[in-house]
A and B are shown apart, each in its own frame.
Chain A
Amino acid sequence: MQSEPFVKNYLSEHYGDDAYRTLRGYEAKNGFEGIEKALTLEPEAVTEMVKASGLRGRGGAGFATGLKWSFMPKQSDRMKVVVVNGDESEPGSFKDRMIMERGPLQILEGILIGAWAMGAKRTFVYVRGEYREPIRALEAAVEEMRAKKYLGKSCFGKKGFEHDIVIHSGAGAYICGEETGLLESLEGKKGQPRKKPPFPAQHGAFGLPTTVNNVETFAHVPFIVSRGVEWFRQRGTEKSPGTTLFGVSGHVERPGLFELPLGTPLREVLGLAGGVRGGRRLKGVMPGGLSMPILPPSELEVGLAEELLAPKGTHLGTGGVMVMDESTCMVRVACVTSYFFRDESCGQCTQCREGTGWVHKLCEKIESGRGTSEDLALLDDVPSFMEGQTICAFADAAAWPIQGLLRHFRADFQAHIDEKKCPFSESFEL
C-alpha cells in the first residue's frame, strides 16, 4: 500500500510520517487538540458542533453524523457503547485501510470525542479480519493510550470520563459491514442484519444503546472540534462538507488514494489519477464502489458528492472510483459483480438469497453465449423484485449495479446474445 495518498489534505497530511502512528508523533502534529477542546465543553455542545458541521458518515450511507449521535438516550441505566465500522469490504474502496494503518490515533481521538458527547463507556472497533496491519496499528495505538492514561478510568485526566476501546477482528464476510450485521458479528453470531425496529440507539451491541460510525467518520471529528465548524465547512459542498479519500482503481495510470473535497468533479479525479491507462478511451466509471451504478463517459462533469450523484442515478457510496476502458466487457463485469453479491448475501431474505443467485446465473449464461432475449428480459426484471424489500440494503446494493450496467451498456449484453459469444476479445478474462 502507498504510505500516503497522492493528493493530501488535512486528514492525510501526515500519513507519510511513520511516527504519526505513535503518541509522540501524533502529539507533535497537534494530535489530541480535539479531545482536549471537547472536554471543556458540555457533551451536548459537542454533539451540536458535529451536527452543525454537517459531517456525513463516510461508510457509504452518508447519514448525518451529529444527528445519529443525538439518537443516543441522554440518560440510561444501561452502559452506552460506540461501535466503529472498520469492516471496509466494498470492492473499490481502500481508504479506511490507510486511515487505520497510517492515522489510527485520529480515529481513536474521534472515538473519544464521540464517547464524551454520547456518554459512552466502551468502544468496539470492528476491523475486517483480513486487515492484519490496520489491526496491529490500532492495537498498538490503544496500548499506548492506555499506558498514558488517555484511556481508562479518567481519560485525559477528566474525572468521571471512563472509557476503554476494544479492537475486534472480523472473519471474512462483507455483510458484517452492514451496521446491524456488524453488531450481530460482534456479539459472536453470524453477521446477519437485524430487522429495524428496534434501532441500535435503543437496542444495539449486546442490547445496549449503541452508535455505529465508520472509521473515517471518526477520523474527521477531531479536526472539526479543534479547528471549528466554519473551518470544516470551507471544504466540500454545502450538503457534503469536508474531504474524503477517493480511491481510484482499474484502468488508470496512477491508481491510488486522493484526498479531495467532496464535490470534486469526476473528471478532475480521473485527471489526478493520470487518466485512462495507455491513452485508451474511457468506457465507464463506477463512482462509489461496486454497489453504485456505473456512469458513462458523458457524465464526467458530475461532482462526487451524494446530492450531485443521486440525480444521475447513482450514489457516492464509499468513493471507490473504478475506471473501465474500452477493452472492458461489461457483461464480464456483471458476472464478477453478481458473483460477489451472490457469495456475500447473508441468506436471510428470500429476495436477496434467491435473487442474487438467479442474477448471477443469468449473467454467466449470457456471458457464455448461451443467453437468450428472455434471459435479458429476466435480468431487467429480477433486480426490481429485490430492491427496497429486504431487511437491509444489501439487496439494493446487489440490484443497482446490474441495473446500471443494463441502463448504459445494454448493447454489450445484446451483442453476447446475438453473436452467441463474448465479442470483447481484449477484455480481462473470467
Chain B
Amino acid sequence: MPKLTVDGREYQIAEGRTILQAIDDLGLLMNGVDVPHYCWHPKLTIDGSCRLCQVEVEGMPKLQIACNTPVTDGMKVHTQSERVAKARRGVMELLLINHPLDCPICDQAGECKLQDYAFEYGAPGARTREPRRPAKKSVELGPTILFDQERCILCRRCVRFCREVPKTGELGVFNRGDESLLETFPGQPLDNPYSMNVADICPVGALTTRDFRFKIRVWFTDDVDSVCNQCARGCNIHVSRSNNKIYRFVPRRNDAVNDTWMCDHGRMSYKLNSQGRLVHARADGKNVSTVDALAHAGELVRSARAARGKLVGVASPLAANEDLAAFRDFLAELGAGPARFAVPRGESDEILIEAEKAPNAAGCRALGMVESTDSLGHADLAIVLGHTLHAAAFADVRRVVLVDSHESALSARADVVLPARTFLEKAGTFTNVDGITQRFEPVVEPTFEALAEAEALEELRKAIAGAPARERV
C-alpha cells in the first residue's frame, strides 16, 4: 500500500492508482484537495489533454498531470504551489480565448466548470482582442441533446462516453489544431438509451438537454437526493426542484449501483410525477372527500368480512419497503393470505437497465408476497396498491379498493380510489436487484390530498373500526 503525501498530509493508497484516482478514492477530490480537471472522469478512460490537473511532484522537474501519473510509494505532491497556480491560469486563459461569451444565454451557467474554475484559478481579466473561432450553435445532435460547437472545450469526455458506456460511438472530433470540432456523422445522430449523460459530463454548455433548455436557472433550484423508480437498478439521482416543482433528474454517483450514469428513460420519468395523477378520492365513480372514501372503503371491508367473503390483497413493486410491511401486517390482521404482486417486465441491457420495470420487487419478495400475473379468480374484495397487476385479473372480483398515485384501467373500475403519494412525495426505501436498500426523502408536496400507502392503510384500519378519520390527511 503505497504512501502518498499531498500538500503535506500523508495517505495510504491502493495499488495501481494515479494521483487523481487516489485523491478521488479518498473522497477528497475538490472536497479538501483541489485538483481542477476537465477531461478526466472517474468512470471513463484517461485522456490527459486538458492539462488542467497538472500538479507538482517532488523529484520530477516538469509539472505532471495528476490523471496519468501513477502513484509510487513515498511520492510527494503539491497542488497549491505558485507553479501550479501559474499553469492553471495559463490553461484557463487559453480555453477562454475562443470560448463564446454566452453565459447570459447558456443553460450551464451556475453549474459550469469553466465559470467555476475561471473564477477560482483563472486570471482576473481577458487579454485577448482577437476574433473568436465561429462554429455551429444550437444543433439538434439527436432527439435529446442540443449542441453548441463554439462552447466546446474539446475535453472529449462525450466521445469517450459514447464509445465506452453505451458503446454506440456516435461522436468524434474532426480536423486538427484549433480547427478541431466535435461532430457526428451526417445521418447518424446522437441517439442511444444513455444519450443524456453527455450533458452531465460536459463541463460546459456545449452539450445540454433539450428537455431542460431555458426552463430555469440552476441557482433557483436546489437538489434533493433520491432514487429512480423505473426499474430494479435504482439509479441514484439528484432531483432539481424549485418552488415545489420538479425540473429534472440528474444521476448521482454510486459506485455500487449506477456509477455516475442513468438511462434517458429513467431521467425523463420525473415528468410522470405530474402526469396522469389520481388527484381526487372517488367512491362509486364519483369524486368524494378522502374521509368519505375511507368510510366507504371501511364499509366494504366490514361487509365482506361479515359475509365471510374472500379478501385478497394485491401489492405493488413500486411501493416502498415501509408501505409493503404495513400492507403485510394489515392483511394479516384481516386474515387474508399473503399479498399477490406482479412485476412489469421489459428489455434489459448489460449497462444499467433491468428487466424488472419497478424499483422494489425485492421488497415484495422479502416480505413473502406471491409473484404472479394469473387472474385473481373469484374474490369478494380486493385491496390493491398500485396497478401493476393488469385489470383483467380482477374480472371476477366483486369490489376493489385501490390506493394508487396514477389513473389506470383499474382506477376506472375500482369502487373506491384513494390517491397515493409517489416516492418523490414521501420518505422510504427501495431494495434493488442486487439487494441494496436505498433510502429516499420527500422532494415535493402534492397539491392535492394524497397519502403514502402506509398512512392510507392506517386510516383504512380506523375506518374499518368505525373510528373517525383525521380531518386532513
Contacts and interface: CB of A to CB of B under 8 A. Distances in A.
Interface of A: 173, 175, 190, 195, 197, 342-351, 353-358, 361-362, 365, 374, 378, 385, 388-391
B177 A378 contact: no
B62 A353 contact: no
A389 B54 contact: yes
B94 to A, nearest CB: 4
B180 A351 contact: no
A342 B54 contact: no
Residue in B46, B65, B133 with the greatest tally of chain A CB atoms within 10 Å: B65
Given A345-B176, A389-B63, A197 B70 contact: yes
B176 to A, nearest CB: 5
B91 A351 contact: yes
A354 B51 contact: no
A195 B46 contact: yes
Nearest to A342: B177
A390 B90 CA distance: 12
Interface residues of B, number: 33
Given A347-B178, A378-B127, A357 B49 contact: no
Interface in B138-159: 153-154
Nearest to B172: A190
B127 A349 contact: no
Contacts of A389: 51, 54, 62-63, 87, 90
B312 interface: no
B68 A385 contact: no
B175 A349 contact: no
Contact of B49 (A175, A348, A358, A361): A348
Interface string B80-94: 000000010011011
Given A195-B46, A385-B93, A389-B63, A351 B178 contact: no
B177 A351 contact: no
B128 A357 contact: no
Given A197-B70, A358-B130, A385 B177 contact: no
Interface of B: 46, 48-52, 54, 62-63, 65, 68, 70, 87, 90-91, 93-95, 97-98, 127-128, 130, 133, 153-154, 173, 175-180
A173 B175 CA distance: 11
Nearest to B87: A389
Contacts of B173: 347
Contacts of A197: 68, 70
Contact of A391 (B48, B130, B179): B48
B49 A391 contact: yes
28 contacts: A173-B176, A197-B68, A342-B177, A344-B176, A347-B154, A347-B175, A347-B177, A349-B49, A350-B52, A350-B95, A350-B154, A351-B90, A351-B94, A353-B178, A354-B97, A354-B178, A356-B177, A356-B178, A357-B177, A358-B97, A361-B130, A374-B127, A378-B127, A385-B90, A385-B91, A389-B54, A389-B63, A389-B90
Contacts of A347: 154, 173, 175-180
A384 to B, nearest CB: 8
A91 B127 CA distance: 31
Interface of B is mostly: loop
Contacts of B95: 350, 354
Nearest to A385: B90
Contacts of A391: 48-49
A357 to B, nearest CB: 4
Nearest to B18: A197
A354 B176 contact: no
B349 to A, nearest CB: 28
A205 B194 CA distance: 33
A124 B130 CA distance: 43
B129 to A, nearest CB: 8
A384 B48 CA distance: 20
Contact of B94 (A175, A345, A346, A355): A355
Given A343-B177, A347-B175, A350-B49, 19 more contacts: A195-B65, A195-B68, A344-B176, A344-B177, A345-B176, A345-B178, A346-B177, A347-B173, A347-B180, A349-B49, A349-B50, A350-B52, A353-B177, A353-B178, A354-B98, A356-B178, A358-B130, A385-B94, A390-B51
Contacts of B178: 342, 345, 347, 353-354, 356-357
Contacts of B97: 354, 357-358
Contacts of A356: 177-178
A367 B449 CA distance: 74
Nearest to A355: B94
Contacts of B87: 389
Nearest to B69: A197
Given A197-B68, A350-B49, A391-B48, A357 B98 contact: yes
A152 to B, nearest CB: 38
A414 to B, nearest CB: 19
Contacts of B54: 389
A388 B51 CA distance: 11
A346 B98 contact: no
A388 B62 contact: yes
A179 to B, nearest CB: 16
A334 to B, nearest CB: 16
A390 B68 CA distance: 12
Contacts of B93: 385
List the 7 closest A-B pairs by CB distance, nearest first: A385-B90, A345-B177, A347-B180, A357-B178, A354-B94, A348-B49, A195-B48
A351 B178 CA distance: 11
Contacts of B180: 347, 353
A52 to B, nearest CB: 28
A163 B54 CA distance: 42
B54 to A, nearest CB: 6
Nearest to B89: A385
A362 B63 CA distance: 27
Contact of B176 (A346, A350, A365, A390): A346
Contacts of A358: 94, 97, 128, 130
B174 to A, nearest CB: 9
Residue in A197, A349, A350 with the greatest tally of chain B CB atoms within 10 Å: A350
Contacts of A353: 154, 177-178, 180
A351 B180 CA distance: 14
Contacts of B177: 342-347, 353, 356-357
B166 to A, nearest CB: 21
A354 B94 CA distance: 6
Residue in A173, A343, A358, A374 with the greatest tally of chain B CB atoms within 10 Å: A358
Residue in A343, A349, A354, A356 with the greatest tally of chain B CB atoms within 10 Å: A354
Contacts of A357: 97-98, 133, 177-178
A345 B127 CA distance: 22
A310 B237 CA distance: 57
A374 B63 CA distance: 28
B472 to A, nearest CB: 59
Residue in B54, B127, B176 with the greatest tally of chain A CB atoms within 10 Å: B176
Nearest to B95: A350
Contacts of B128: 358
Contacts of B176: 173, 175, 190, 343-347
Contacts of B65: 195
Contacts of B49: 348-350, 391
Contacts of B175: 347
Contacts of A378: 127
B337 to A, nearest CB: 61
